[in-house]
Chains A and B, each alone.
Chain A
Amino acid sequence: MESIINRIDKNQFWKFHGGIHPPEQKFITENKPIRTLPLPKELILPLQQHIGQAGDLLVSVGDTVLKGQPLTSSAHPMAVPIHAPTSGKITAIKDSTIAHPSALKEPCLFIEPDGNDTWVKRNICNDYTKQSDSDLLQKISDAGISGMGGAGFPTYVKANTSAKIEFLIINAAECEPYITADDLLMKEHSPTIVDGINILHQIIKPENVLIGIEDNKPAAIKALQNATKNLDHIRVCIIPTKYPSGGEKQLIQILTGKEIPSGAIPSSQGIVMQNTATCFAIADAVINDIPLIRRVTTVTGLGLNKPQNVWALLGTPVNFLLEQCELHPHDKQRIIMGGPMMGFTLPSGNVPVVKITNCVLAPSAKEISDESTEVECIRCGQCADVCPAQLLPQELQWSAKAKDHQQLETLNLFDCIECGACAYVCPSHIPLVHYYRIGKAEIREHKQQEIKADKAKIRFEARKLRLERDKKAREEKQRKAAEARKAKMNSGTVEANNEMSAVAAALARVKAKKAQTSDTTSQDSTTEAAAKPKNPQIAAAIARAKAKKLANQVTDNSDITAEVDKTVEAKVENETPTENTADDKKSKVAAAIAKAKAKKLAKEQADEKTDVQNEITEETAVNDVSEADSKKAKIAATIAKAKAKKLAKEQVDEKTDDQNEIKEETTVNDVSEADSKKAKIAATIAKAKAKKLAKEQVDEKTDDQNEIIEETSVNDVSEADSKKAKIAATIAKAKAKKLAKEQEAEKSDNSQPDVEDTKAAEKKKRIAEAVAKAKAKKQQRLELN
């Protein structure tokens, strides 16, 4: 530490690597005092003029604002407000080209000055030394001050460092050619700058304050030395002129010999650097309560008749400055904001002066020619010699051209400060910095994409995990629910018993049927009679149709047909009540169809080729049913019925077993497709089968099939659906009737009508019916629950 100060006191400085000596061209404006310009017709204020965040608007179009009035505010730590540079009216808030190399459009406030330049109320502070640090910082922040050297970092953030600061360095190097803004400011306002430095000193409390100034500004050096004569802690360090000694890292190296590690900020090494113009703005803000609304801008270049330094209000369009300085443009005139080394060209003159605009350069065609044909790199290495970051520009260039991003990063592309020294000296006129910018942008973009891809991947995996978790949870829930149900059923409570009885009832029903078949009973005509009155019209129509049919069939066909017709009749009669609950019309249609089919079938049976055909129809039924569609469903229902009849006949032949099995499968499939319409179909099918089965019981192969049917009915019941439940009930009833009849029909030969048995059967039947109804109700209740 001491040695650093000793060296500085001996005027011995360190050297940074490389550097160049471009023509300074400061003579154009260095002797021209800072001129105050008349008010422009319009001011354009970009909402964001610094690194960080834009503030929120405080005003709207049409508002009248006073000079110094804040226009934005923000609680964000990286945001500083902007202020009205003069009094006037806000005419528009819209996107406009901002002072940025990209020439992007960003939100800007347009102010039409009223010419009065009326100030808001200001609080002049006579003695800043009595102010607290936080008050001072607040003032600096409220005044909207951000670094005025080029980067535009909010000043109060830099000043509000908690690190122990050895050196506060004031950057007065102004190393870029042409620019004399800081030079003139120091010549004319050194005492104010020193006030600003003292304010910073008070806040940051550094051990030493170093002002780094290049030796090409003797007048400014003198002015600063005079202003700091009595201040021992401030040292004016006169450093040799070399570009880019005004770079933050370079100036730190020159003055202290320290290097700022890549990626670190100077305060990590106990150093804070501020620009002279920033110091002036701080003093103005703290002492005079003048926010940052103007700055010194050098308007220079041999393309101007009157190059000069001006006090430019922020927001002044560059056109206005060029008019004031009398630009005489040539073809391919370029207007550069900033210096010739690091400045950027403006697309138009409508771009405003902002907080970082220290220079507007309008060179003549001779000064800066646009002719620079790039030729091949000859690896002369001059670029590497001048690079202040000690990079290897020519290797970077090759990698940038080859888009070898990995190699670019290995070569530390991101340590390039884009000072332009390499491109300046390149004998092959390769726009090296341009290649680096492209390379950097590509790498950044690439990284962004990688980050996005990573995020997407993480999101995807999280989703997958979540779905799996949900699935497991669902399964678990279902499993538990099932267990709970079982437990409940076995628990022996009333409810459980009820539930169990539902299942038991279904089983009981089936058993009842079986029992009926084993008990030989006579026909119970009353059952049929009881069923009939429910639908007298239909029944009548059916009866008529049947009568006709029978008449025909009797003439045509054999005994078998007659038998078939009987069964058909029985079936139709049985069906009617069932369908009744659903829809009268449908039931009529179905009945008609059934009849028609019955006739057909009767004929077919006359031929002896029915088996094959039956099989085909069965297949059709399977296909039809699987296609969930109301029309088809209806058709299927009728087909099913028809088949039922057919099958009944086939039972007469002894080949029915296989076919029945197929049918049963069909019904199982049907049932598994949960859909109310289908359910209806299933019901009808079930009915049909029930009839069939009843007949089959006559043969002695029925046991297995019955079991299957039982399953079917159980399935029906288990499909919680009130309609189905009803259907099931009716089915059960129908079956009961059927069974009764069948028992009578088939076993009439060996039956000695046992009245008591018949009665018992009747009772059983009724019980079964009641049980079925009860089940249906229960089912409904369960559903409601």
Chain B
Amino acid sequence: MAFWIASSPHNHIQNKTSALMRLVIYATLPGIFAQWYFFGWGNLVHISLAIISALVAEFFILSLREKKIPEQIFDGSAILTAILLGISLPALAPWWISILGAAFAIIIVKQLYGGLGHNPFNPAMAGYVMLLISFPVQMTSWQPPLQLLAIDLTFFDTLSVIFTSFTTDGYSMEQIKTHIDGYTMATPLDTVKTNLTLGLTIAESMDSTVIGENFGIGWEWINAGFLAGGLFLIFKKAIDWVTPFSFLFSLFVFSFIAFTFSPDSNASTMFHWFNGACMLGAFFILTDPVSGATSTKGRMIFGALAALLVFLIRKYGGYPEAMAFAVLLCNMSAPLIDQYTRPRTYGHKKEQNAEDNTNA
């Protein structure tokens, strides 16, 4: 009888790209839970909107490109992009922000470059940066933690704010952001940055209500949640440990040096670690294999470069948070990093490899 012909290897790990994506999505849950706990329903609403928008956009483009729609639309990559974008958005941003951001991320950043595996930039971060630049007001209206709000923010209030800019009771975004004592609250990173320009020291900033006892009410727990999720992914070998380690370690080193030199004008290392999108970026964004470096050495450099950029932009840049910009800049340099960090092939000398690189 004739037998089936196939190319070796014949057995295969029962692992699929979609499974990998699903695992990453599960790993975001602790962080999302912390977000929900401290900031209410806002991000969950945005995540949902972004997922819908991303799937519709994906369907649209895949049908235009005549691809296998059922297989590719649910490979998890679009959903993951939407979730990461939804997590990053200000909780009470208007509804069209997430719709627009997700559609941009999928259509422009991902599919126009050739779809999964071909996008040079991380779609979620590119979408985020597009929104931040295009709609700075909406994108910087960060909602303070629920426990600091003067008014109750129920699920319906959240929905109402997102879709109509006012709560069911008619409070506007500005009013929500106003502290019981009558001043507008910002994120801890923003607070520190503003205070520094006002001539206050870091120690004085740390007394701010939004920062609370440690590094920022809510934010520290959200970052802890993403840290836990990231460690879970490393444990499951879904992501490589090198990039997050390199990033966090480098950020630690940079901020520690700065803090040692001038503790009054530089926030502590832990403040850097547990604020903003630090952990999300370290474990979920920088580890995006498509837009990152591939070799171990390359990932080291990639992480360190991201840390440097985050530190510099947070310290000197115009924006209080820097993760998205740092990621995009690193994405740009990833091919170059890859080019110069090719591992030495077995049986080849180092010099020879270097020569090859220069030739290439």
Chain B's closest residue to A25 (CB) is B11
**B289 contacts which chain A residues (CB < 8 A)?**
378-381
List the one stretch of B101-109, B112-120, B211-219, B272-280 in contact with chain A. B112-120
**B359 contacts which chain A residues (CB < 8 A)?**
410
Contact B6 A341 (CB under 8 A): no
Bound state CA distance, A345 and B360, in angstroms? 37
- Render B1-18 as a binary contact track against A, CB cut-off 8 A, 1 for contact: 111111111111101110
Contact B345 A390 (CB under 8 A): yes
Bound state CA distance, A361 and B347, in angstroms? 32
Contact A348 B347 (CB under 8 A): no
**B347 contacts which chain A residues (CB < 8 A)?**
249, 259-264, 389, 415
B136 interface residue, CB < 8 Å from A?
no
**B71 contacts which chain A residues (CB < 8 A)?**
373, 375
Bound state CA distance, A735 and B290, in angstroms? 105
**A225 contacts which chain B residues (CB < 8 A)?**
none
Contact B292 A329 (CB under 8 A): no
User: Which among A249, A372, A426, A434 is the interface contact of B346 at CB below 8 angstroms?
Assistant: A249
| Known interface pairs A17-B346, A260-B347, A424-B13; A381-B240 also in contact (CB < 8 Å) | yes
Contact B346 A259 (CB under 8 A): yes
A334 interface residue, CB < 8 Å from B?
yes
Contact A431 B11 (CB under 8 A): no
Contact B7 A379 (CB under 8 A): no
B56 interface residue, CB < 8 Å from A?
no
Interface residues contributed by chain A, number (CB under 8 Å) = 74
A336 interface residue, CB < 8 Å from B?
yes
Q: How far is the CB of B22 from chain A (nearest CB, A)?
A: 12
A704 interface residue, CB < 8 Å from B?
no
**A563 contacts which chain B residues (CB < 8 A)?**
none
**A407 contacts which chain B residues (CB < 8 A)?**
360
Bound state CA distance, A566 and B190, in angstroms? 136
User: Which among B3, B9, B15, B345 is the interface contact of A415 at CB below 8 angstroms?
Assistant: B345
Which of B1, B5, B12, B72 has the most chain A CB atoms closer than 10 A to its own CB? Answer: B12
**B317 contacts which chain A residues (CB < 8 A)?**
none
Contact B346 A384 (CB under 8 A): no
**A198 contacts which chain B residues (CB < 8 A)?**
none
**B143 contacts which chain A residues (CB < 8 A)?**
none
Q: How far is the CB of A424 from chain B (nearest CB, A)?
A: 5
Chain B's closest residue to A343 (CB) is B8
Contact A378 B290 (CB under 8 A): yes
Contact B4 A334 (CB under 8 A): yes
| Known interface pairs A388-B346, A415-B346, A434-B7; A329-B15 also in contact (CB < 8 Å) | no
Contact A345 B3 (CB under 8 A): yes
| Known interface pairs A329-B1, A349-B1, A381-B289; A423-B12 also in contact (CB < 8 Å) | yes
Contact B6 A340 (CB under 8 A): no
Bound state CA distance, A342 and B16, in angstroms? 22
Q: How far is the CB of B114 from chain A (nearest CB, A)?
A: 8
Chain A's closest residue to B291 (CB) is A379
**B342 contacts which chain A residues (CB < 8 A)?**
392, 411
Bound state CA distance, A415 and B349, in angstroms? 13
Chain A's closest residue to B75 (CB) is A375
A633 interface residue, CB < 8 Å from B?
no
Chain A's closest residue to B355 (CB) is A410
Bound state CA distance, A344 and B349, in angstroms? 33
Bound state CA distance, A259 and B347, in angstroms? 6
A391 interface residue, CB < 8 Å from B?
yes
Chain B's closest residue to A327 (CB) is B1
- Render B330-360 as a binary contact track against A, CB cut-off 8 A, 1 for contact: 0000000010001111111100000010011
B52 interface residue, CB < 8 Å from A?
no
Q: A residues 358-399 with Cβ under 8 Å of B?
A: 361, 363, 367-368, 370, 372-373, 375-381, 384-385, 388-392, 394-395
**A264 contacts which chain B residues (CB < 8 A)?**
347
A427 interface residue, CB < 8 Å from B?
yes
Q: How far is the CB of B16 from chain A (nearest CB, A)?
A: 6
Bound state CA distance, A17 and B344, in angstroms? 11
Q: A residues 240-283 with Cβ under 8 Å of B?
A: 249, 253, 259-264
Contact A341 B8 (CB under 8 A): yes
User: Which among B10, B15, B240, B360 is the interface contact of A410 at CB below 8 angstroms?
Assistant: B360
Bound state CA distance, A332 and B1, in angstroms? 11
Bound state CA distance, A103 and B2, in angstroms? 12
**B10 contacts which chain A residues (CB < 8 A)?**
334, 336, 340-341, 343, 345, 361, 363, 368
Contact A347 B2 (CB under 8 A): yes
Bound state CA distance, A263 and B10, in angstroms? 28
Chain B's closest residue to A341 (CB) is B9
B295 interface residue, CB < 8 Å from A?
yes
Q: How far is the CB of A336 from chain B (nearest CB, A)?
A: 6
B294 interface residue, CB < 8 Å from A?
yes
A212 interface residue, CB < 8 Å from B?
no
Q: B residues 3-57 with Cβ under 8 Å of A?
A: 3-13, 15-17, 19-20
Chain B's closest residue to A422 (CB) is B9
Q: How far is the CB of A275 from chain B (nearest CB, A)?
A: 20
Q: How far is the CB of B84 from chain A (nearest CB, A)?
A: 15
Q: How far is the CB of B122 from chain A (nearest CB, A)?
A: 12
Contact A424 B9 (CB under 8 A): yes
Q: How far is the CB of A104 from chain B (nearest CB, A)?
A: 14
Contact A427 B17 (CB under 8 A): yes
Bound state CA distance, A361 and B4, in angstroms? 13
| Known interface pairs A375-B75, A379-B294, A391-B345; A370-B6 also in contact (CB < 8 Å) | yes
Bound state CA distance, A17 and B295, in angstroms? 13
**B9 contacts which chain A residues (CB < 8 A)?**
340-342, 420-421, 423-424, 433
Q: How far is the CB of B289 from chain A (nearest CB, A)?
A: 4
**A375 contacts which chain B residues (CB < 8 A)?**
17, 71-72, 75, 116
Q: Which 9 A-B pairs have the closest CB atoms?
A: A420-B9, A376-B117, A262-B347, A434-B7, A334-B4, A380-B289, A332-B4, A340-B11, A381-B294
Which B residues fall within an 8 A CB radius of A?
Answer: 1-13, 15-17, 19-20, 71-72, 75, 77, 115-118, 240, 289-290, 292, 294-295, 338, 342-349, 356, 359-360
Given contacts A347-B5, A384-B295, A425-B13, 9 further A-B contacts (CB under 8 A): A261-B347, A349-B3, A373-B71, A378-B17, A378-B116, A379-B290, A385-B240, A415-B347, A433-B8
Q: List 8 A-B contacts (CB under 8 A).
A: A334-B4, A334-B5, A345-B6, A375-B75, A379-B289, A385-B240, A392-B342, A425-B13
